[in-house]
Amino acid sequence: MEPSAKLDRKNRTRIRQIVGPDHCSDSSEDLFLYAYDALNRRYLPDMVVHPGSAREISELLKLANEARFPVVPRGAGTGLTGGSLAVDGGLVVTTRRLDRILDIDRDNMTVWCEAGVVNGDLQAEVEKEGLFFPPDPASMKFSTIGGNAAENAGGPRAVKYGVTRDYVMALEVVLPTGEILHTGSSAIKSVTGYDLTRLMVGSEGTLGFITRLLLRLVPKPETVRAMLTVFPETRMASNTVARIMSSRIVPSTLEFMDRSAIDCVKNYLDIELPDDAAALLLIEVDGRATSVTEQMATIQSICREVGANLVRAADSEEERESLWTARRSLSPAIMKIRPLKINEDVAVPRMKIPELIEGVEEIARCRDLIIVNFGHAGDGNVHVNLLVDPEDRDEVARAHSAVEDLFRLVVSLGGSLSGEHGIGIAKAPYLAIELDETMISVMRRIKGALDPNNILNPHKTFDFDPSVTSREFR
Amino acid sequence: MPKSKDHRLPTNISSKCVKCGTCHSVCPVFDAVPTESHTARGKMALIEAVAQGRLEESERYRDYLEACLLCGACQEACPNEVPTLAAMLEARESLAGRMGLKTGKGMILNHLLATARGFRLAMRTGRAVQGLMFRRIPESSGLRRRFPLPLIPEDRTIPGVARDFFTDLYTGTVRTGSGPRVGIFAGCMTNYFYPETGADMVDLLGMLGATVVVPEGQVCCGMPALAGGARDTVRDLAMQNLEAFEEYDLDAIVTGCASCGGNLKDNFRALLAEAGASEPRIEAFLSKVMDINEYLARMGLPSRTGEGADEEAGREPLTVTYHHPCHLGRLQGVKEEPVRLIQALPGVRYVPMEEADRCCGMGGSFSIENYDISKRINDRKVDRILETGAQAVVTSCPACILHIRDGLRRRGRADVEVHHVAELITRRMEEEEVESGKEKGESGRGDAETRGRGEEVSCEGERGG
Ligand SMILES: Cc1cc2nc3c(=O)[nH]c(=O)nc-3n(C[C@H](O)[C@H](O)[C@H](O)COP(=O)(O)OP(=O)(O)OC[C@H]3O[C@@H](n4cnc5c(N)ncnc54)[C@H](O)[C@@H]3O)c2cc1C
Ligand code: SF4
Ligand code: SF4
């Protein structure tokens, strides 16, 4: 492979000295291993390192500013928008060795951990102490807390508990220029200075390299109960959600599937579904056992009143699991229709979901595509999945037009291009559909102030450059 | 290194992987050494790069590919149904074609496994010299090495080569009964290291009234060679086995080795076709292949449940937990049968184990090349076993037995017994005979069924060995 001009021999040696020879590589094999994330595109970095401390990362960034090579933070590489890809080469810096849970404080209900800890591992550890870390992206068993914070990830529990942002109290961050910054406070209330914690969360690795996080925890709920309900009309599902919320019940999960999604999973369910199933809701309630039972009863009667043609509560943990198999089997079931899935995680105000679904059905008809919708009904975050055959050029082209149609529709409904997955390179070309000039210019100025040499994760989000990203290989 | 003429690059099945990373959460190797090269996703990416001609098949590439137990957990978890095992075997075959087999391992694979005689010879030599090289560990049949040997690390306990091989003790028709005609596919581990498991299978099948046959010409199933990329060798082995079992008119072909069974079921069809066997011949052979657990379940064993009986008899049952071998539970989907069999045994109380289907860390040659990682994976298995508090752990694969025994010993817990299902059942059934014999005199409880079995044991149950 061509040694890139970005990293000459001298700099490679200095990098090796900083992290130690066992923790870096520029062998072709290792470069191929860090050329992708879950967006499934390929860009080879020039070198990969696994530093063991914030100090080492600081030295790497100082060197990068001197020598002007890109530095790309990487957690588990499960991002869906290409955030951890070295689109312009340079150095990939992983958090693999920053994997310690440092201190679980039961009384204050907080935990300090390093950025490379896997979300699911953290959850298991704090649950041993009777505590609970709510952010639950579907990737929680294999994505890192650092990556979750950088993408502000969320999951089904967001409807009740919020997203990663709502649980980050303080951060240790290495700035693009190499200084180590400590944001936030261990006190729940703190208004001293700008809220740089929130600035860093969701910044997709472009403003700072997160090395440690102080996370807020909550008591572990006593019980969780689940139910599944099916409606003959999409609007009924939205009305149900609205009525549940206004009866002062906040479910811990409100997952939604549209007609095409239901068709995909029908065969995976033990339950016989009614023929006219236009929308399905998977609802969970958690808390004290007595109140959970009451809330379940209320929700069930709401569903029936609104017009559900199936209401099924899980009485045991096994039954709850079997209801979830419907949701979990969705992904593989979808892939059976077409080999390529373009997943757009748009978000609209909750009550606009029926309009969104109708609009998407219209787009699918006009563009002659198969589109499957499911997502989080409680917070209006819908996964719109365009299914295409990558070999069929015309279909791929129609899908790209459909994505643009979709984003315009979403913005016209007062929504957002991405509810959880971020912008990266995948959604960057469409950013201007949602954000105005002023917004983009302010973000540019913030980036310029923190990263004057554009070292950290360049060419992502508003800094997108098609002439760079077109250099991928397939 | 020499590049063989018929070197074929892997096909593009690895590109089915969409890089979601789900497989990270189930891979035992990644859990022990969390680096991208040690995941199916990473391996798919490397194989893809090789298939596309972007990456050379280098030593490092080989090391990465071999850092894998072939446990199949990734394939099971993959939401996109990527055939990771097939992709990895194909890549290993391509590697072997490109670089030749590794010395040491390559030698064993090619020259020893290729003919039954070669391997036998090696094992005989092993048996003769093992006293010189290993010191025997008291209170167990394990051996620990005495001076440096290339493949076996110092702290590893491996079983001694058996004094008498299974296929020497049992050849041809070894039991005659009125039931189905059952052939035993022994497999190398059982044959050379654990012949007692084979003997237990013979006894057990005999007790159930089967005519039991151990076809003479049977050889290694070739799994180690296949994992090493020596597909040509395995084709020959597959053919020899087909011919050996064709000699007899059998209703079922039963094995007590999860890996052999998995290989026969998953890979033999293609291998035999490549070797030129006709479809009806292949079908006649493979349609009969099953694991001993499947056979027993199919024959209606267990016929009684043990629970109440223990209380009645006022005895302490043996507490037993079960480890699912990857190649039986995951690859062949045989999970319920062994557990049901154990639960039904009199004198036994089954205690479930957490993560019972998680790999024990053996992975064939993986544990030779990567013993340190293998030990870490095994430690987790041993933790789960010890948490159950069971007196014995039972499984259905001699390779798992070897590795779990090694692990328990390393942790100073050699007191926990490790058995093959067939061994446990046979032992319990034999003890029952004694018990019910005693009881018969006192309470007259010995029914016709039990007596019938007792007679079969007494007239045919002589174990040679
Ligand atoms: C099957 C699947 C399901 C998913 N489900 C969800 C879901 O339900 N909800 C959801 O929100 N997301 C989901 N995702 C997307 C993805 O898992 C999340 O974005 C996750 O937060 C990424 O974490 P990671 O450790 O893999 O980060 P990476 O992919 O490695 O990186 C993501 C971004 O964060 C940056 N980054 C990583 N670590 C750091 C750090 N320490 N400091 C600064 N920047 C950093 C990277 O540069 C990159 O821009 C899913 C992905 C997959 C494959
Ligand atoms: S087969 Fe097992 S060890 Fe190998 S990559 Fe898959 S999960 Fe990991
Ligand atoms: S789970 Fe399957 S698709 Fe996902 S990374 Fe692993 S092998 Fe690839």
Question: Are A400 and A351 found together in one domain?
Answer: yes
Q: What is the DSSP letter of A235?
A: H
Inside any domain, residue A432 = no
Residues A81 and A151 in one domain: no
The Cα–Cα gap between B359 and A192 comes to 52
Q: What is the mean pLDDT of residues B445-461?
A: 31
Q: Across the interface, do A38 and B24 touch by the CB < 8 Å criterion?
A: no
**Cis-peptide, bond into residue A156, ω within 30° of zero:** no
Question: Count of alpha carbons within 13 Å of B24, Cβ hemisphere only?
Answer: 27
Is A177 domain-assigned? yes
- Nearest-Cα residue of chain B relative to residue A338: B80
Structural domains present in chain B: 11-100 (1.10.1060.10), 309-434 (3.40.50.10700)
* Whether residue B451 has pLDDT greater than 50: no
Residue B44 pLDDT more than 90?
yes
Same domain, A62 and A107: no
Q: Smallest Cα–Cα separation from A156: which of A376, A345, A343, A329?
A: A376
Nearest Cα neighbor of A6 from A59, A58, A56, A64 is A64
Residue B464 has pLDDT above 50, yes or no: no
Q: What is the pLDDT of residue B137?
A: 54
More confident call, B78 vs A336: B78
Chain B within 8 Å of A325 (Cβ-Cβ)? no
Q: Closest residue of B to A34, CA-based?
A: B36
Residue B452 pLDDT > 80, yes or no?
Answer: no
Distance from CA of A142 to the nearest CA of B (A): 5
Look up residue A330 and give its two tokens.
């969705």
Question: What CATH number should be reported for the domain holding residue A18?
Answer: 3.30.43.10
pLDDT tier for residue A222 given thresholds of 50, 70 and 90: very high
Q: What percent of chain B has pLDDT over 90?
A: 63
Mean pLDDT across A103-115: 96
Work out the average pLDDT over A229-238.
Answer: 94
Structurally, how many domains does chain A consist of? 4
Residue A440 lies in a domain: no
- Condensed to tens digits (0 to 9), the pLDDT of residues A298-321 reads 999 999 999 999 999 998 888 898
Three-class secondary structure of residue A225 per DSSP: strand
Identify the pLDDT of residue B130.
Answer: 63
Residue A209 within a domain: yes
Q: Between vectors from CA A348 to CA A342 and to CA A352, what angle results, nearest 5°?
A: 115
Per-residue pLDDT at B365 exceeds 90 = no
Same domain, A310 and A342: no
Atom of ligand 1 nearest to the CA of A203: 44
Report how far apart, in Å, the C-alpha atoms of A199 and of each of A136, A148, A149, B278, B451 are: 21, 14, 11, 68, 80
Q: State which of A300, A331, A362 marks the end of a domain.
A: A331
pLDDT at residue A56 tops 60: yes
pLDDT of B148 > 60? The answer is no
Is residue A192 domain-resident?
yes
Least Cα distance to A329 among A285, A374, A364, A371 occurs for A374
User: Is position A245 within any domain?
Assistant: yes
Contact call for A77 and B21, based on CB within 8 A: yes
- Residue A445 half-sphere exposure, CB side, CA atoms within 13 Å? 6
A288, burial (CB in 10 Å: exposed 0-12, middle 13-18, buried 19+): exposed
Whether A137 lines ligand 1, by a CB cut-off of 6 Å, is yes
- With a CB-CB cutoff of 8 Å, which residues 66-85 of chain A face chain B? 76-78
Is the pLDDT reported for residue A132 higher than 80? yes
Q: Which residues in chain B have their CB less than 8 angstroms from residue A77's CB? A: 19, 21, 36
Long-range contacts of A18-26 (CB under 8 A, 24+ apart): A18/A49, A18/A51, A18/A56, A18/A59, A18/A60, A18/A63, A19/A49, A19/A50, A19/A51, A19/A52, A19/A56, A19/A60, A20/A52, A23/A49, A23/A50, A23/A51, A23/A52, A23/A97, A24/A48, A24/A49, A24/A50
Residue from A33, A140, A148, A341 whose CB has the most chain B CBs within 10 Å, to mutate? A33
Q: Are residues A105 and A209 in the same domain?
A: yes
Per-residue pLDDT, averaged over A257-261, amounts to 92
- Residue A199's CB: how many other CB atoms inside 10 A? 16
**Which pLDDT score is estimated for B449?**
35
The domain boundary residue, chosen from A331, A361, A385: A331
Q: Do B55 and A139 touch (CB under 8 A)?
A: no
pLDDT tens sequence across B276-326: 999 999 999 999 999 999 999 988 776 555 555 555 666 789 999 999 999
Q: d(Cα A319, Cα A321) in Å, to the nearest integer? A: 5
Q: Which amino acid is at B428?
A: R
Report, as an integer, the average pLDDT of B96-117: 59
Neighbours of A370 (CB within 10 A): 15
Mean pLDDT of A382-405: 95
Name B316's Cβ contacts closer than 8 Å, sequence gap at least 6.
none
Task: Note whether residue A429 is domain-resident.
Answer: no
Residue whose CA is at the smallest distance from ligand 1 atom 19: A79
pLDDT of residue B431: 81
* Range B86-101 average pLDDT: 87
pLDDT confidence of residue B111: 46
pLDDT for B454 beyond 50: no
Q: What is the pLDDT of residue B459?
A: 29
The pTM score is 0.90
- Give me the CATH number covering residue A234: 3.30.70.2190
Cα–Cα distances (Å) from B173 to B193, B213, B217, B286, B343, in that order, read: 22, 4, 13, 20, 32
pLDDT, average across residues B357-377: 91
For residue B19, the chain A residues in CB contact (below 8 A) are 36-40, 77
Query: Is the model more confident about B385 or about A325?
Result: B385
Whether the pLDDT of residue B408 is over 50: the answer is yes
Q: In the numeric block, which tokens belong to residue A319?
A: 């039954």
Q: Quick one: A237 and A212 in the same domain?
A: no
First to last CA, chain A: 16
* Residues of A in Cβ contact (< 8 Å) with B49: 32
Read off the pLDDT of each residue in A168-193 and give the average, rounded to a whole number: 91
Q: Are residues A90 and A132 in the same domain?
A: no
For the segment A20-27, the average pLDDT, to the nearest whole number, is 97
Residues A207 and A266 in one domain: no
Q: To test the ligand 1 pocket, which listed residue (A34, A49, A139, A181) has its Cβ within 8 A of the most ligand atoms?
A: A139
Q: What is the mean pLDDT of chain B?
A: 84
Q: Check pocket membership of B121 for ligand 3, CB cut-off 6 A.
A: no
Residue B154: count other Cβ atoms within 10 Å of its Cβ. 11
Q: Which residue did the predictor score with more confidence, B279 or A191?
A: B279
- DSSP assignment of A369-388 equals -EEEEEEETTTTEEEEEEEE
Ligand showing the shortest atom-to-Cα distance for residue B45:
3
The predicted structure's pLDDT at residue B310: 58
* Interval A399-410: pLDDT, tens: 999 999 999 999
Q: Confirm whether A455 is domain-assigned.
A: yes
Task: Suggest the residue from B12, B16, B24 to mutate for an interface test with chain A (most A CBs closer than 10 A).
Answer: B24
By Cβ distance, the residue of B21, B46, B80 closest to A335 is: B80
Confidence of residue B125 (pLDDT cuts 50, 70, 90): low
pLDDT at A323: 85
Question: What percent of chain B has a predicted confidence (pLDDT) above 70?
Answer: 77
Amino acid at B292: I
Question: Same domain for A187 and A245?
Answer: no
A367 and A385 assigned to the same domain: yes
Which of the four pLDDT bands, split at 50, 70 and 90, describes residue B442? very low
Instruction: Tell me the sheet residues that pair with A180.
Output: A174
**How many other C-beta atoms are found inside a 10 Å radius of the C-beta of residue B128?**
10
- B17 vs B42: CA distance, rounded Å: 10
- Cβ atoms of A237 and A264 closer than 8 Å: no
Residues A111 and A133 in one domain: yes
Question: Picking from A263-272, B139-148, B279-288, which range would have the lowest pLDDT averaged per residue?
Answer: B139-148
| Region of poorest pLDDT, from A426-435, B160-169, B401-410, B413-422 | B160-169
Residue A346: pLDDT over 80 = yes
CB-based contacts of A327-331 (< 8 A; 24+ apart in sequence):
A327/A255, A327/A257, A327/A265, A327/A282, A327/A374, A329/A265, A329/A268, A330/A257, A330/A261, A330/A264, A330/A265, A330/A374, A331/B79, A331/B80
Helix axis angle, A9-19 to A54-67, nearest 10°: 170
In the numeric block, the tokens 């007590």 are attached to B256
Quick check: B39 pLDDT over 60? yes
Average pLDDT over residues B166-187: 95
CATH of the domain at A156: 3.30.465.10
- Judge whether B378 and B323 are in contact, CB under 8 Å: no
Statement: residue A415 has pLDDT above 80 = yes
Last residue of one domain, picked from the residues A201, A219, A237: A219
Q: Do the Cβ atoms of A142 and B25 come within 8 Å? A: yes
Rounded Cα distance between A24 and A17, Å, is 10
Q: What is the predicted pLDDT for the residue at A410?
A: 96
Of A76, A120, A339, the CB nearest to B21: A76
A273-287 average pLDDT score:
94
Question: pLDDT tier at B1 (50, 70, 90 boundaries)?
Answer: very low
Quote the pLDDT of residue B126: 66
Percent of chain A with pLDDT over 90: 84
Ligand 2 pocket test, pick from B84, B370, B373 with the greatest ligand atom count within 8 Å of Cβ, gives B84
Domain span at residue A302 reads 223-331
CA–CA gap between residue A372 and residue A369 (Å, rounded): 10
pLDDT band with cut points at 50, 70 and 90 for residue B461:
very low
Q: Which residues contact A292 (CB under 8 A, 6 or more apart)?
A: A222, A223, A224, A225, A285, A286
The CA-atom distances, in angstroms, between A138 and each of A78, A135, B31, B381 are 11, 10, 19, 27
| Contact between B54 and A143 using a beta-carbon 8 Å cutoff | no
Residues of chain B with a CB closer than 8 angstroms to some CB in chain A: 16, 18-22, 24-25, 34-37, 42, 45-46, 49, 54-56, 58, 60-61, 64, 79-81
Averaged pLDDT, A443-462:
97
pLDDT band of residue B156 (cuts 50, 70, 90) is confident
The answer on pLDDT for B355 being more than 90 is yes
Q: How, if at all, do strands B142-145 and B157-159 pair? A: antiparallel
Rounded CA-CA distance B264/B285 in Å is: 10
- If asked whether residues A208 and A110 sit together in one domain, one would say yes
CB A72 within 8 A of CB A36: no
Is the CB of A473 less than 8 angstroms away from the CB of B54? Answer: yes
- Ligand 1 atom at minimum distance from A156 CA: 8
Q: Name every chain A residue with its beta carbon within 8 A of the beta carbon of B22.
A: 139, 141-142
Instruction: pLDDT band for B105, please (50, 70, 90 cuts).
Output: low
Q: A95-99, A336-340, B303-307: lowest mean pLDDT where?
A: B303-307
- What the block records as the tokens of A240 is 């149900």
Other CB atoms within a 10 A radius of the CB of residue B115 amount to 15
Q: From A27, which residue of chain B is nearest by alpha-carbon distance? A: B60
The pLDDT of residue B6: 61
Dihedral in degrees, nearest 10, Cα atoms B40, B43, B49, B53 = -130
Question: How many C-beta neighbours within 10 Å does residue A269 have?
Answer: 17
Counted across chains A and B, CB pairs separated by less than 8 A come out at 67
Give ligand 2 pocket residues (Cβ under 6 A).
B 26-29, 40, 68-74, 84
